[in-house]
Amino acid sequence: MAAVKITDLPVIERENSISIKGKQKKQLKCDTDSVAGCVSQRACVYCGARVVLNPITDAVHLVHGPIGCASYTWDIRGSLSSGSELYRNSFSTDLKENDVIFGGEKKLARAIDELVAKYRPKLVFVYSTCIVGVIGDDLQAVCRAAAQRHGIEVIPVESSGFIGNKAAGYRAACDALLSLIKPADSLIGQIPKSINYLGDFNLAGEAWIIKKYLNRIGVTVNVVFTGDSNYESLKNTARASLNIIQCAGSMIYLAQKMKELYDIPFINVSFLGLQDTADSLRKIAAFFNDQEIMRRAEELIKNEEAEVKPVIADYSDKFVGKKAAVYVGGGFKAVSLIKQFAEIGIEVVMIGTQTGRKEEYKSINDLVNDGTVILDDANPSELEKFMLEKGAHLLVGGVKERPLAYKLGMAFIDHNHDRKHPLSGFVGAVNFAREVYSTLCSPIWTLVNRG
Amino acid sequence: MLDFTPKEIKKLTGGVINPAKTCQPIGAMYAALGIHRCLPHSHGSQGCCSYHRMHLTRHFRDPIMASTSSFTEGACVFGGGANLKTSIKNVFAIYDPDIMAVHTTCLTETIGDDIPSILSSAEVPAGKVVIHANTPSYVGSHITGFSNMTKGIVTYLAESAKEAKKEQVNIIPGFVNPGDMREIKRLVKTMGIKSIMFPDTSGVVDSPMTGKFEMYPKGGARVEDIRDSGNSKLTIALGSFASTDAAIQLERKCKVPAKTLKAPIGIKATDELLMALRNSFVREIPSDLEEERGQLVDIMTDTHYHFHGKKVAVFGDPDIVIGLTEFLLSLGMIPIHVLTGTPGNAFEKEVKAMLLQAGLKANVKAAGDLFEFHQWIKNEPVDLLMGNTYGKYIAKAEDIPFVRIGFPILDRSVHSYMPVVGYKGAMRLIEMISNALLDRQDRDAREEDFELVM
């Protein structure tokens, strides 16, 4: 195979956002704005905020802006609820030309009033979109007044699309959450051996799997951020004794703030893959320094592994010599996927993220083999170039990457909103192997002449 | 969520619940994809571009390529001119399209970026073209955006030579699937008439699997053909909402007579399209098409008792819904709730006129949302629901047979390859409708009523 050269890139500005392990020592450029005129796979601030908050099931998620932003985010996340389904509706102020000229505050106030009358929610999130940031509606004031009028919480989310990238939206969501969870002093840290689980959105019911594991080892899950959470459960946030963070990209800021404000310590975990799941359970047990929890954790790991390892091994036999490319939203998921692929005998030859952070790129670089291409905020032509040059058989990505992989005659797994099976925990590791098998070893690829 | 719609109807004044439309730019992006080797460009925040590509990708299950100006706070304060100029430079340097189609967003419209003046001072490589359309998201809907970009295509590209008009017809198909565009082109070709269709997304968003990723697949209207559209002797705009403006622009600019017809859904509207072609080009309807029409009438007679008197609720984009309503009436069905999210009085007028002619009265609304539509159904139940994917919530809540048609369809595949237009499309619609109704009858039948022959 021809050696991969970054210098072939059509956009010189992109050179610092791509590195090849073992080739150079430079720090990968990340967390920057996309180049104007690029076919970026990235989204905006509003998108980041919405995906984090949307799984809060009993809230009215009201989008203040023209219709599009609400239309494109109507029930797209696949996060499951055990209670209210209110969050699966699409609410928009549907701003028109007149509102843009004369301001949208009155219409927003009316929308809140009508929705509150209709659904009696305890919590309303009002998302700011690009245009609101420009026409200067005072979201704070409208929300404050509505909250007083109705005696509920109406929280503005400062998510105008242009004020940064998706990561800025995570932060806007965390700020909204911080204002929501602000506790009375008596409510801080009172439930022993209880945790908040940050950064799981309960896609395909993943948070439920982890909750069960933790219950089995004697740890109580206080609230999940934000999968299957609701107003009441979030109000109890500060009572937990530990925060564990899965999706660090979206939640590390919230964890740091909770440490600062309520003195709740946090640790990073990952429940993707056998090794990470086991390590994370041990880490949690070790934190509580409780013999019984540790014993039960070991027992759970032993039992679960005994059950799933032979199944996974059967699949791995079929993957010999296969190579994977990964392009996902956050860095935490990328790191876990490298390990998870290693567990099923697949080498990751290209890996990138939309919003990975410096530390995460360092972990990625430490984990991958020499020659692996690492890239931040990639565009489709870069993905194509490196996947082909590195001989990848499989791509892990989101909605927009799927048809790209298929057109190249390449297998694909959705590790994003469109995932249909839980990929977390021990059972998730089996699902993952099965999904890899069903796409990688499908007979359809024999019909494709790879050019 | 399914229990969240109360029966009692109260007017909403503060916005919409569960929209039946989306914003202009995605329509502009889709129209621009219908030009060969064109890269649509979204002048705004990068989320817009990302959302539109995601939505179109989910509907078509094909890669959707478009670039973005990637707005930052600075661009908002100082104007987006610099971002757009950099974009133009980068797009041609990196992605090398033949043509770049810029559309605006609510953000760039509000800060007042003057696109023509930015374009006039931008560096565009020789032989390349940049066109634009203003598509403020706070006006109209995705259909308006499609219409505006199609009009922009005419404004920038259509030219007329001095000599007499050529024996060729321009067809503006409206916001329909590539499967529909292929079928319309086949009909016109079978008539023996040369046509120029634009936008034409066939071969772009339904491109074949070759094992190679083509940034610009083989399909799409060629720029030279669109230029030549100014020399055609007739433009047929299919659908008044998505296509008429461009046809009128072409009439104004190049003196090509414009004729607006309904989207050719069902027998009557297809007849009208073929008759218009016959009259303008002095052709006989070829026997192949007469045979197809005869087959359709045969199918309609064979099955009419399945449909007669069934109540239907229809929602979606205005041109499609107007065509569909007419077809449902011709089957003896009773559309009692008819709604589009796109604003426009013409919709209500046209649908009401058709209903009046059939001696029927119904709930008809433009600029409506699916919350209200659901309330209508709760108050006056139907036997069948037709519309895009978002109808599935209502179908499940009310346990109504559901036929998916329109945009977007996010939960079923193959639809974008198959037509709903023309005689063949009408046959397909009949198959879909009767399968939905009869599957339901089988599902609900008591054993003693469960029949083999239906």
Residues B275 and B309 in one domain: no
The domain total for chain A is: 3
Measure B302 CA to nearest chain A CA, in Å: 39
Residues B385 and B317 in one domain: yes
Residues A293 and A345 in one domain: no
Residues A83 and A172 in one domain: yes
Instruction: Please tell me the distance from the alpha carbon of residue A263 to that of residue A189, in angstroms, as a whole number.
Output: 8
Helix or strand run (H / E) with residue B295: helix B287-307
Domain with residue A257: its CATH number is 3.40.50.1980
Residues A354 and A297 in one domain: no
Is residue B220 within 8 A of residue B33, CB to CB? The reply is yes
Measure B294 CA to nearest chain A CA, in Å: 38
Helix or strand run (H / E) with residue A358: helix A358-367
Name every residue whose Cβ is closer than 8 Å to that of residue A420 and which is 6 or more positions away in sequence.
A78, A204, A414
Residues B310 and B437 in one domain: yes
Measure A80 CA to nearest chain B CA, in Å: 12
pLDDT of residue B161: 85
Residues A141 and A234 in one domain: no
> Does the beta-carbon distance from A94 to B44 stay under 8 Å?
no
pLDDT of residue B163: 77
Residues B110 and B50 in one domain: yes
Which of A8, A33, A35, A39 is the best residue to mutate to test the B interface, defined by the most B CB atoms within 10 Å of its own CB?
Answer: A39
Task: Please say which residue of B281, B313, B346 terminates a domain.
Answer: B281
In a domain, residue B4? The reply is: no
> Does the beta-carbon distance from B55 to A66 stay under 8 Å?
no
In a domain, residue A103? The reply is: yes
Is residue A248 within 8 A of residue A330, CB to CB? The reply is yes
pLDDT of residue B335: 98
By Cβ distance, the residue of A39, A89, A161 closest to B47 is A161
Task: List the one residue out of B12, B55, B5, B9 whose CA is nearest residue B33.
Answer: B55
Strands (E), A93-236: 123-128, 153-157, 194-200, 220-226
Task: Please say which residue of A133, A152, A181 terminates a domain.
Answer: A181
Residues A165 and A281 in one domain: no
Task: Please say which residue of A150, A181, A212 terminates a domain.
Answer: A181
Residues A257 and A351 in one domain: no
> Does the beta-carbon distance from B210 to A45 stay under 8 Å?
no
How are beta strands A91-92 and B16-17 bridged, if at all? antiparallel
| A107 interaction partners in chain B (CB closer than 8 Å) | 13-15
Instruction: Please tell me the distance from the alpha carbon of residue A192 to that of residue B448, in angstroms, as a whole number.
Output: 62
By Cβ distance, the residue of B14, B72, B138 closest to A110 is B14
Ranges of residues in chain A with a pLDDT under 50 are 1-4, 451
pLDDT of residue A186: 66
In a domain, residue B430? The reply is: yes
Task: Please say which residue of B157, B177, B200 terminates a domain.
Answer: B157
By Cβ distance, the residue of A94, A111, A403 closest to B62 is A403
Measure A46 CA to nearest chain B CA, in Å: 8
Residues B152 and B199 in one domain: no
Task: Please say which residue of A181, A214, A235 terminates a domain.
Answer: A181
| B72 interaction partners in chain A (CB closer than 8 Å) | 33, 162, 164
Which residue on chain A is closest to B20 by alpha carbon? A71
Which residue on chain A is closest to B341 by alpha carbon? A67
Is residue B5 within 8 A of residue B55, CB to CB? The reply is no
Ranges of residues in chain B with a pLDDT under 70 are 1-3
Residues B61 and B147 in one domain: yes
Which residue on chain A is closest to B3 by alpha carbon? A85
In a domain, residue A293? The reply is: yes
| B94 interaction partners in chain A (CB closer than 8 Å) | 10-11, 37-38, 381
Instruction: Please tell me the distance from the alpha carbon of residue B195 to that of residue B188, in angstroms, as a whole number.
Output: 7
pLDDT of residue A12: 61
The domain total for chain B is: 3
| A134 interaction partners in chain B (CB closer than 8 Å) | 76, 107, 110-111
What counts of helices (H) and strands (E) characterise chain A? 17, 14
pLDDT of residue A382: 87
Go through chain B and tell me how many residues it has.
454
Residues A161 and A271 in one domain: no
**CA A131, A136, A139 angle in degrees (round to 5)?**
95
| B1 interaction partners in chain A (CB closer than 8 Å) | 75, 85-86, 88-89
In a domain, residue B82? The reply is: yes
Task: Please say which residue of B116, B133, B157 terminates a domain.
Answer: B157
Residues A145 and A171 in one domain: yes
Which two structure tokens, joined as six digits, stand for A393? 């058989």
Render pLDDT for B125-147 as a digit per residue (tens, 0 to 9): 999 999 999 999 999 999 999 99
> Does the beta-carbon distance from B23 to A71 stay under 8 Å?
yes
Residues A83 and A200 in one domain: no
Considering just the CA atoms, what is the radius of gyration of chain A in Å? 23
By Cβ distance, the residue of B15, B51, B64 closest to A68 is B51
Is residue A31 within 8 A of residue A170, CB to CB? The reply is no
Measure B371 CA to nearest chain A CA, in Å: 9
In a domain, residue A169? The reply is: yes
In a domain, residue A198? The reply is: yes
Whether a cis peptide bond, with omega within 30° of 0, leads into B199 is yes
Domain with residue B370: its CATH number is 3.40.50.1980
In a domain, residue B366? The reply is: yes
By Cβ distance, the residue of A11, A68, A407 closest to B209 is A407
By Cβ distance, the residue of B15, B46, B72 closest to A92 is B15
Measure A85 CA to nearest chain B CA, in Å: 5
**For the packed helices A248-262 and A45-53, what is the interaxial angle rounded to 10 degrees?**
70
Residues B141 and B217 in one domain: no
Which residue on chain A is closest to B107 by alpha carbon? A131
Burial (CB < 10 A; 0-12, 13-18, 19+), residue A339, is middle
Measure A414 CA to nearest chain B CA, in Å: 13
Instruction: Please tell me the distance from the alpha carbon of residue A71 to that of residue A90, in angstroms, as a whole number.
Output: 7
Which of A162, A163, A388, A416 is the best residue to mutate to test the B interface, defined by the most B CB atoms within 10 Å of its own CB?
Answer: A162
In a domain, residue B84? The reply is: yes
> Does the beta-carbon distance from A404 to B63 stay under 8 Å?
yes
In a domain, residue B363? The reply is: yes
By Cβ distance, the residue of A35, A40, A95 closest to B138 is A95
Name every residue whose Cβ is closer than 8 Å to that of residue A337 and which is 6 or more positions away in sequence.
A272, A273, A326, A328, A348, A351, A396, A415
> Does the beta-carbon distance from B209 to A94 stay under 8 Å?
no
Domain extent at residue B239: 166-281
pLDDT of residue B238: 98
pLDDT of residue A166: 81
pLDDT of residue A1: 39
Measure B189 CA to nearest chain A CA, in Å: 30
Residues A177 and A193 in one domain: no
In a domain, residue A134? The reply is: yes
Residues B153 and B184 in one domain: no
Strands (E), B158-246: 166-172, 194-197, 232-238
Which residue on chain A is closest to B77 by alpha carbon? A134
Which residue on chain B is closest to A411 by alpha carbon? B211
Measure B407 CA to nearest chain A CA, in Å: 12
Instruction: Please tell me the distance from the alpha carbon of residue A85 to that of residue A58, in angstroms, as a whole number.
Output: 7
Residues A141 and A191 in one domain: no
Q: Is the dihedral of CA A26, A30, A32, A35 positive or negative?
A: positive
In a domain, residue A431? The reply is: no
In a domain, residue A285? The reply is: yes
Domain extent at residue A132: 45-181
Residues B175 and B147 in one domain: no
DSSP A39-89: ------HHHHHHHHHTT-TTSEEEEESSTHHHHTTTT-S-B--SS--GGGS
| B394 interaction partners in chain A (CB closer than 8 Å) | none
| B136 interaction partners in chain A (CB closer than 8 Å) | 66, 97
Residues B135 and B198 in one domain: no
Residues B219 and B112 in one domain: no
In a domain, residue B65? The reply is: yes
By Cβ distance, the residue of A89, A115, A134 closest to B111 is A134
DSSP A329-343: S-HHHHHHHHHHHHH
Which two structure tokens, joined as six digits, stand for B156? 């920038």
| A88 interaction partners in chain B (CB closer than 8 Å) | 1
Measure B17 CA to nearest chain A CA, in Å: 5
| B214 interaction partners in chain A (CB closer than 8 Å) | 407
In a domain, residue A313? The reply is: no
Residues B31 and B153 in one domain: yes
Residues A174 and A54 in one domain: yes
> Does the beta-carbon distance from B210 to A44 stay under 8 Å?
no
In a domain, residue B203? The reply is: yes
The conformational region for residue A51 under phi > 0 = left, psi -120 to 50 = alpha, else beta, is alpha
Q: Is the dihedral of CA B206, B211, B213, B217 positive or negative?
A: negative
